[in-house]
Amino acid sequence: MRIAVLGGGPGGLYFAALARQLDARHHITVWERGAADDTFGFGVVFSDETLGGIEHADQEILAAMRREFARWDDIDVHFRGTVSTSGGHGFAAMSRKRLLAILQARCLSLGGSRSAPRLRTRPRWPAAMTWWSRRTG
């Protein structure tokens, strides 16, 4: 099966890694118009429930992510001079750049490869870069 993924952000890379694990015969191309380490935003927050889903799907990605986490359980709500604390919520956060690096490394470990950007004078979508491509057969 040929699969094209538009966007080399966390969602696109994670999907590519999972699709590759489902069937190593898939030819997956992730199209990304920016550089591999371009990012917008600062961090990504995951609930414990989401982390459980990642653990079920790909333990290697989760292990790499855990080394980067800041974790907390309580949520403080500040309202009109009072603070209310709600406990029992598990969350973890990490840098978006580190998350991209982890997912890119996972795609490479599954047999992907990087291609140099193909620059155009007038970018169109899918624009400049085939990030991860694995040809089979």
- pLDDT surpassing 90 at residue 89: no
Residue written as tokens 């949520």? 75
Whether residue 67 has pLDDT greater than 90: yes
- The residue among 103, 94, 99, 28 whose CA lies nearest residue 58 is 103
User: pLDDT class for 27, splitting at 50, 70, 90?
Assistant: confident
Instruction: Say what the pLDDT of residue 6 is.
Output: 86
Angle between helices 96-109 and 10-22 (to 10 degrees): 20
Report field, pTM of the whole predicted structure over 0.85:
no
Gyration radius of the chain's alpha carbons? 18
pLDDT band at 81 (very low <50, low <70, confident <90, very high): very high
pLDDT at 33: 77
pLDDT digits (tens, 9 = 90+) for 107-118: 989 988 776 554
pLDDT number for residue 117: 53
Fold assignment, 2-133: FAD/NAD(P)-binding domain (3.50.50)
Q: Would you kindly state where each structural domain of the chain is located, as residue ranges?
A: 2-133
Distance separating alpha carbons of residues 29 and 31, to the nearest angstrom: 6
